[in-house]
Amino acid sequence: MRDPQTEAPAPPPPARAPADAPAARHSRAPLLLLIAVLLTAALAGVLWLDARERISATQQELARRLRDIETNASEARSVARQSQDALRDAQVKIGQLEARLAESQSQQLALEALYQELSRNRDEWQLAEIEQVLAIAQQQLQLSGNVRAGLLALQLAEARLARADRPQFLPVRRALARDIERLKALPAIDLAGMSMRIDGLVAAVDAMPLAFDERGERTGTANGAPKDAGASPERGFWSRLGSEVWSELRQLVVVRHVDKPEPPLLPPSQAYFLRENLRLRLLNARLSLLIRDEAGYREDLRAAQAWIRRYFDPRAKHTVDALAQLKQLSSTTLSFEMPMITESLEAVRGFKSRRERTPG
């Protein structure tokens, strides 16, 4: 063989050069095609493997998600069943509650009706009691003129209506307030104090000395003075005899002042009846005071003063005190127009009649 390195290549013939080039290109074309086919096949295989892996991963993901969906669906069905059960229980409970509510409403209506009835009865009882109290106070004012009792009755009725605090009682309360103001405007007379003072005078009748008793004491003292003087051992027989004769002569002639009459002589029995009659006069005066009979009251006090001045000792302390108290009692005025509480009574009765006409 020839060494290619030592042997120089022969120059190609100039005329055949263009024909060899297409032959070389034709010899390399299958090789390139094969290479391209192989590359395409490799690329396709790689793509197929990648797609297969992706499809497998996708299938796995889909399977996982389907499992998750099935799990969620089963849980949802379980929750739905529980919700349905809870809904049924709630509906049952709601039905029970509605039944209880209806029962409670019926009981409430019954209780309201009962309360209305009790309230109506209580108001009627209260108004009946107030009417009775006002009627008694009206009788006290008419018979004895007891203003204090009438005022207390009106204030009691107003306080009870105020505690009730019902707007329908306002007309009655206004009528009570007007009657209270009318009674408060009356002149204040302490009937109880005056009655107690008269009772004190009745009790002091026995302590007042009679004028006859006082005169007897003065006469006894005047007659006893010469006897005491005559009993003195220092005077002689003739002096005692002269004093006794002079005393007898003085008793034979009595000089009296006719401008001032002497108190009448009363035996013990008449003195007892005098004190009892004086007590009766004072008790009659107290009775006239309580029934506000001013004429009888003044007449009894005047008669009591006249008897005390005539039959009792005017200088004794008990007598002076009794006359002073009788003078003060006589200066009190009892006669004034007594107001009536008919407005309050009419308001209460009118309210009761309106309630009786209005049902419910």
* Alpha-carbon span 84 to 9, nearest angstrom: 101
Structure token digits, residue 122: 């209580």
pLDDT range class, residue 231, cuts 50, 70, 90:
very low
Look at residue 256 in the predicted model and tell me its pLDDT.
52
182 and 199 housed in the same domain:
no
208 and 290 housed in the same domain:
yes
Segment 122-138, tens digit of pLDDT: 777 888 888 888 888 88
Which one has a higher pLDDT value, 360 or 158? 158
105 and 153 housed in the same domain:
yes
204 and 162 housed in the same domain:
no
Look at residue 324 in the predicted model and tell me its pLDDT.
92
Which one has a higher pLDDT value, 47 or 145? 47
Q: Is 348 part of a structural domain of the chain?
A: yes
- Answering whether pTM is above 0.85, one says no
Residues of the chain with pLDDT > 90, as a percent, come to: 9
pLDDT at 149 over 60: yes
Q: Is 77 part of a structural domain of the chain?
A: no
pLDDT averaged over the chain?
77
Contact 340, 138 (CB under 8 A): yes
Contact 268, 199 (CB under 8 A): no
181 and 195 housed in the same domain:
no
Boundaries of domain holding 326: 190-216+263-335
150 and 212 housed in the same domain:
no
Classify residue 313 as left (phi > 0), alpha (psi -120 to 50) or beta: beta
Structure token digits, residue 353: 């009649």
Q: Is 143 part of a structural domain of the chain?
A: yes
Q: Is 80 part of a structural domain of the chain?
A: no
Beta bridge partners of 312: 210
Look at residue 351 in the predicted model and tell me its pLDDT.
81
Segment 12-25, tens digit of pLDDT: 555 444 445 555 56
Look at residue 335 in the predicted model and tell me its pLDDT.
64
Contact 291, 302 (CB under 8 A): no
Look at residue 283 in the predicted model and tell me its pLDDT.
93
Segment 83-118, tens digit of pLDDT: 888 898 999 999 898 888 888 888 888 777 766 666
Segment 267-302, tens digit of pLDDT: 666 888 888 999 999 999 988 887 778 888 889 999
Q: Is 19 part of a structural domain of the chain?
A: no
173 and 301 housed in the same domain:
no
Of the spans 1-5, 29-33, 46-50, 108-112, which averages the highest pLDDT?
46-50
DSSP letter (8 states) at residue 358: S
What number is the average pLDDT over the span 341-357? 81
What number is the average pLDDT over the span 295-322? 90
> What is the helix (H) or strand (E) element at residue 220, kind and residue range?
helix 211-230
Q: How many domains does the chain have?
A: 2
What number is the average pLDDT over the span 30-51? 86
Look at residue 229 in the predicted model and tell me its pLDDT.
44
pLDDT range class, residue 226, cuts 50, 70, 90:
very low
Q: Is 272 part of a structural domain of the chain?
A: yes
Look at residue 280 in the predicted model and tell me its pLDDT.
93
What number is the average pLDDT over the span 307-331? 89
> What is the helix (H) or strand (E) element at residue 124, kind and residue range?
helix 17-143
DSSP letter (8 states) at residue 13: P
* Three-class HEC string of 290-325: HCCCHHHHHHHHHHHHHHHHHHECCCCHHHHHHHHH
What single string gives the DSSP state of each residue in 221-289? HHHHHHHHHHT-TTS-HHHHHHHHHHHHHHHHS----TTSPPPPP--HHHHHHHHHHHHHHHHHHHHHH
112 and 180 housed in the same domain:
yes
204 and 331 housed in the same domain:
yes
Look at residue 137 in the predicted model and tell me its pLDDT.
82
Task: Give the C-alpha distances (Å, rounded to integers) separating 169 from 135, 166, 176.
Answer: 18, 6, 11
pLDDT range class, residue 195, cuts 50, 70, 90:
confident
CA angle in degrees (0–180, nearest 5) for 200-202-205: 110
